[in-house]
Structure 1
């Protein structure tokens, strides 16, 4: 049995005929009769009986029709509860991010969404390989993920909103001979030691592209996922590293230089399961993430990479 069949039974008890029920529900009498037959198949005792030309409820039918009132009332209450949850502006919203996105976006979110009437944020850091970001959408309402510009799109099971298309620049000590150049090429950096991420993380593909463009393998001296730690290693002379241009924190001993000849840019995307944005609170946070992305990008208004920087992944 289902809600529609129970309603038909209830209406039959109140209106007294199939024709009257059909008119009330704006369907044909044959459709009403079919639903009553389907309902009867699931009940071991007769629900209706003939009184002349009229179809009336038996005692069992009247009992079930009475229960139908309770069922409709409970369902209506459940719908109102769900609607209140969906429309609630200050509901809880969980957001996960890889480290450099969390460092850049989380403070802006917290400042913008503080106080009554705003979503209640639950923030978490998740340092995972690129292929593992979609599965995090099972646990969190929104997931900040990164992938390289030319990488395959995210699977169709998740929705993606691109927040930033962020250049990746070469980080080097401010007193390094290459720091005097405004732009670098793969040949300039191919013979330097490198500090890079572990396999499976997006930046690694750009390292491979630099090696391919230079025609020789790079020497990967250190594997460090955390950009803040990598920045310290670069400053100490451990090698060069790729760093994000906009989501990085300044480091007094480093400069960033763009590299020509390779696609060195990553997407920062907000991933979510499509049903999550049915909630007003989640849509509010997603809107604020877009605003935060504009703020982050606008910090570098001159388009040049001249200031010393470094940051966490």
Structure 2
């Protein structure tokens, strides 16, 4: 029977996620030669080639992908073991490290932490703000225990893209469908109209987000309404975006969580609901598969569910 080495399997999974030996080495704090040596040793142990040349890079063989499907199950079972041991040793006490995108911190994480302090004081939460896509990288590397992200930013493993099923490293829970409203200058003709649809704004100049997935979300929402928006400006912060809207430089989609979390709306900006056809972004919580049974982590997930606003 093969003597399995968990560390080598972890390196193979990381290569699958990161795509190159160099990126894998950087993520695992190893040298590229050490990564290559460990994977070569793993191939010798299992008796089949795991990597093949692909231009200047390497790619995983079919045998490596078969091995990864089993590795996903192994790592999920190890996460369950950690969860059960934590329950045995600590009960509901423990620390949970949460990685969350900027608007989720004040809108979801802070209310959840307040509730946990009152109901479960033994559960400690440590927060790290991260871009929606980066949160999954932190989760995969073990730097956080729970990632708050957007469904549109869920990572796609190569085997998922090739039809071999979903990325098996994570368990995802949808927390809410966050409605997107449109920010208009106060003097805009539609600012006081009885109703506003996204299609009516097809000819407007649009202000896009300068970081994270916001530009992609704006583009997808407008395309679903039947037009391609003109990207007139971009900015990373809601304060800058809304200031440009107030100045009449364009219009912008704003997630309701951002407004509820204290995004300061200038007096010259009107927020309009886009009605029944309003676009939404889906906020998800993700954990490493198998870890969801850990008592402290389960409490944090429950508190986040309670903190989500009702459907808008």
TM-score by length of 1: 0.59
1:142 equivalent to 2:146? Answer yes
Structure 1 residue aligned with 2:99: 96
Structure 2 residue aligned with 1:5: none
Structure 2 residue aligned with 1:179: 191
Structure 1 residue aligned with 2:129: 125
Between the aligned partners of 1:273 and 1:292, the Cα distance in structure 2 is: 22
Structure 1 residue aligned with 2:117: 114
Larger radius of gyration: 1
Residues 86 and 279 of structure 1 are in contact (CA less than 8 Å); yes or no, is this contact kept in structure 2?
no
Following TM superposition, by how much is the alpha carbon of 1:128 offset from its aligned partner in structure 2, in angstroms?
Answer: 4.2
1:208/1:290 CA distance change after superposition, 3 Å: closer
Q: 2:253 aligns with which of 220, 228, 242?
A: 242
For residues 272-283 of structure 1, the aligned pairs below 5 Å read 272-283=287-298
1:212/1:162 CA distance change after superposition, 3 Å: closer
Following TM superposition, by how much is the alpha carbon of 1:259 offset from its aligned partner in structure 2, in angstroms?
Answer: 3.4
Aligned length: 215
1:155/1:223 CA distance change after superposition, 3 Å: farther
Between the aligned partners of 1:110 and 1:257, the Cα distance in structure 2 is: 31
1:297 equivalent to 2:310? Answer yes
Following TM superposition, by how much is the alpha carbon of 1:193 offset from its aligned partner in structure 2, in angstroms?
Answer: 1.4
Between the aligned partners of 2:86 and 2:128, the Cα distance in structure 1 is: 27
Q: Mean Cα displacement is larger for which, 96-105 or 221-230?
A: 221-230
Q: Encode CA deviations 1:183-204: one digit per residue, 9 max, x unaligned.
A: 3234421222111124861552
Between the aligned partners of 2:189 and 2:221, the Cα distance in structure 1 is: 23
Structure 2 residue aligned with 1:38: none
Determine helix, strand or coil for the equivalent of 2:121.
Answer: coil
Q: Encode CA deviations 1:203-225: one digit per residue, 9 max, x unaligned.
A: 5244244257444x432122223
Between the aligned partners of 1:174 and 1:86, the Cα distance in structure 2 is: 58
Following TM superposition, by how much is the alpha carbon of 1:105 offset from its aligned partner in structure 2, in angstroms?
Answer: 1.3
Q: Any unmatched runs of 5+ in structure 1?
A: 1-78, 304-313
Following TM superposition, by how much is the alpha carbon of 1:276 offset from its aligned partner in structure 2, in angstroms?
Answer: 2.5
Q: CA RMSD of the aligned region, Å?
A: 3.4
Residues 198 and 204 of structure 1 are in contact (CA less than 8 Å); yes or no, is this contact kept in structure 2?
no
1:167 equivalent to 2:171? Answer no
1:194 equivalent to 2:198? Answer no
Q: Any unmatched runs of 5+ in structure 2?
A: 1-81, 161-165
